Amino acid sequence: MKPITLANLIDGELRAPVGAAYLDVYEPATGKVYARCPHSNARDVEAAMQAAQRAAPAWAALPNAERARHLHRLADAIDARLDELAGEESRDNGKPVKLARSVDIPRAVANLRFFAEAITQWSSEAHIDARAINVTLRQPIGVIGCISPWNLPLYLFTWKIAPALAAGNTVVAKPSEITPFTAFRLAELAVECGFPRGVLNIVHGTGPGAGQAIVEHPHIKAVSFTGSTRTGAMIAAEAAKSFKKVSLEMGGKNPAIVFADADLADANLDTIVRSGFSNQGEICLCGSRLLVERSIYAEFKRRYISRVQALRVGDPNDDASDLGALVSQPHFEKVMACIQRAREEGGTLACGGAAVAVAGRCADGWFIAPTVIEGLPQDCASNREEIFGPVVTLIPFESEAEAITIANGTDYGLAASLWTRDLARAERVAARIDFGIVWINCWMLRDLRTPFGGMKHSGVGREGGTDALRFFTEPKNICINRS
């Protein structure tokens, strides 16, 4: 079958890249190329930036409610194609269609609607005393660069674009070259629903190509990035040269801590399993280190492993599949190498550990069995470094203090979950662990108003709610003398 050719969105038009170069896009479940996306270069980014710059004054001048209306129309267009887009997201990323249908695409709609509503409630601050009235305006920054990863493609792409646009900026955005399809569909929908020209520009391409050109561009004033810590460090260094504002959402090595007094009813155990293996473990928030209090370790492990073994790995199109394919061959190989490394570090496999052969159309896909490893030293690479696949390490602990030490024993600090009936303990531990998000007796329960992001090597800044609107605006304080 002839691959589908994707295009950039520049100045309200779908355009081929100026260099006419393309990258292969694979369907992870089959291992076959099914599309090609623009391999854009600095000239494409320049054209997008110029379109964004031209569109900026009129977009910024629109009443908030008018910008909100445009975002709602885009949300409506996505919502109306939920099933279609869920199938496309799954084909591009390897995740089960049922997950894309229930999480990814509805969340993209929610992101657009949330920030459309939020901007209508956004107001300037005033600080008044006898001497002066200080009014702090929050003005759009100008042209923003948005760079997103492959694991939750449309979900994270819209998570950046929506607040940037709502706040009155124009955007040059680059989705991951590994999963560009739904960003291309978003471009088509933007054209279809009459999104104003040049306000949203989508340039496809690689990190070192189009991505770097965005970060280096002197007229792109801020960059919102989600991806690996390695890339985030490069972006921070590059952006510092021109004093760009940056928001960095990066990797994680998240602990799920199960205390002996936890309510381990089936539903909670299912959430703990999901927290490790949802989206094949390819969610930055996945709990990949499962810390379990020693007194319940054996019984917990028995129940946990039997549930993990019951997860079905298979064709993402099949609603019976709990896990689909890993996103790419290099990523599949990386995760398999991590499993091998864990063995060399002294770990033993409690389950999984191997590739899964899926018969039929998926025979050449990149599937890995959900894998649980125990017996590893706490400070080995497997317990400190992000694997970003269906791999969880089981770690026993003796006391609350030890659990805190183990949880903090990594350079990352994105998210943690605590499982206990003792709320005093939950509060104590939550206060002492270095993670930007702490869930107590739940996981991935998201309220878009809350600050989202990580500490340490997991992030710089916060997105979500008013934190996002603050990032995407420049405060200007005007002091009026009252005397």
Which are the catalytic amino acids?
Answer: 249, 284
For residues 243 to 272, the per-residue mask of contacts with ligand NAD, x marking binding by CB under 6 A and - elsewhere, is: ------xxxx--------------------
Select from 169-177, 291-299, 313-321, 366-374 the region that touches ligand NAD (CB under 6 A).
Answer: 169-177
| Residues 6 or more apart in contact with residue 377 via CB below 8 angstroms | 345, 346, 383
Task: Return the number of the residue (260 or 460) whose C-beta is nearest ligand NAD.
Answer: 460
Which residue is nearest to ligand NAD, using beta carbons? 207
For residues 279 to 318, the per-residue mask of contacts with ligand NAD, x marking binding by CB under 6 A and - elsewhere, is: -----x----------------------------------
- For residue 371, the 8-state DSSP code is E
Q: How far is the CB of 455 from ligand NAD (least distance, A)?
A: 11
228 binds ligand NAD, rule: CB under 6 A: yes
What sign does the dihedral 238-243-244-246 (CA atoms) show?
positive
198 binds ligand NAD, rule: CB under 6 A: no
23 binds ligand NAD, rule: CB under 6 A: no
Q: How far is CA 299 from CA 275, 308, 353, in A?
A: 19, 14, 22
Task: Return the number of the residue (59 or 435) whose C-beta is nearest ligand NAD.
Answer: 435
150 binds ligand NAD, rule: CB under 6 A: yes
Cβ count near 344 (within 10 Å): 10
Alpha-carbon distance of 336 to 340, in angstroms, equals: 6
Planar angle of CA 106, 16, 1, nearest 5 degrees: 70
Alpha-carbon distance of 288 to 271, in angstroms, equals: 13
Q: Which of 147, 161, 356, 407 binds ligand NAD (CB under 6 A)?
A: 147
155 binds ligand NAD, rule: CB under 6 A: no
234 binds ligand NAD, rule: CB under 6 A: yes
The token pair at 275 is: 């927290």
Task: Return the number of the residue (168 or 227) whose C-beta is nearest ligand NAD.
Answer: 227
The token pair at 285 is: 């928030």
What sign does the dihedral 40-43-46-48 (CA atoms) show?
negative
Instruction: Show contacts with ligand NAD in window 440-469 (CB under 6 A).
Output: 454, 458-459
What sign does the dihedral 60-63-68-74 (CA atoms) show?
negative
51 binds ligand NAD, rule: CB under 6 A: no
Reported as half-sphere exposure (CB side, CA atoms, 13 A), residue 321 has a value of 26
215 binds ligand NAD, rule: CB under 6 A: yes
Selection from 235, 228, 225 nearest residue 252 by Cα: 228
Q: Catalog residues that contact ligand NAD under the rule CB under 6 A.
A: 147-151, 156, 174, 176-177, 206-208, 211-212, 215, 226-228, 231, 234-235, 249-252, 284, 386, 388, 414, 454, 458-459
